[in-house]
Amino acid sequence: MTATLGLERVPGSIATLIDEAAANLLTIANQLDALVHGDPSSLEEMARSEDTGDRIVHDLIRETSDSWRVGPDRARLIALAQAVDDVIDALQELAWSWPQQPLPELADLLLALRDTVRDAGHAVAAVEREARLRARLARCREREQEVRRLGRTARAWLVVEQRDPQLAIRGHHILRQADAALRACTRLRFRLDCDAHA
């Protein structure tokens, strides 16, 4: 039995898709890192990761619908895949905002989000290893707190120090997208946490 998901013998095809979802989170986090460090080609790679995320969700829905062994936990598997995909979608939206007006003062915030997504990917990969999952979820909570702290610092910088209205508008847009990405990460962590206690 998969303790964290309450599933009897997760079929191999479904386990493979969960692993793919975790790997896709790590990939898009690395692509965000490249973008913040000046590589605009990573935007195209992020679009491919978003397509991959959509495919994983559709494949997981199909696999869980076709599998009699998954039983009543189909909905939890699908919700997990959709929560992963929501993180990827939100990160892609944030990424498209960045190159239009990169603000070095907000780079630390995006890099903290990168780390949050990486830890979320490791948590998804650990769904069948309860002790490791709990450690990863604790790390996710720490990362989320760091992103919130950096978000407050960034808002203060925009309000107090930024004199260029155009840059302030762009900065606020990036912060809104970062908030959305953080909310998606938090929902994914909550989903994993709920499944771990089910």
24: domain CATH number is 1.20.58.220
- Measured CA to CA, the distance from residue 23 to residue 156 in angstroms comes to 35
Any domain includes 73: yes
Structural domain of 76: 12-196
Any domain includes 6: no
- Measured CA to CA, the distance from residue 198 to residue 192 in angstroms comes to 10
Any domain includes 160: yes
| DSSP-assigned beta bridge partners for residue 7 | 2
Any domain includes 178: yes
Of 106, 89, 88, nearest in space to 151 by CA? 106
- Cβ contact 106:3 at 8 Å: no
Read off the tokens for 105. Answer: 């003062």
Tens-digit pLDDT profile for residues 25-41: 999 999 999 999 999 88
Any domain includes 3: no
pLDDT at 196: 67
When divided into structural domains, the chain yields a total of 1
Any domain includes 36: yes
Any domain includes 5: no
Tens-digit pLDDT profile for residues 75-126: 888 889 899 999 999 999 999 988 776 788 899 999 999 999 999 999 999 9
**Rounded mean pLDDT of 117-138?**
92
Q: How far is CA 165 from the centre of its chain?
A: 31
Any domain includes 2: no
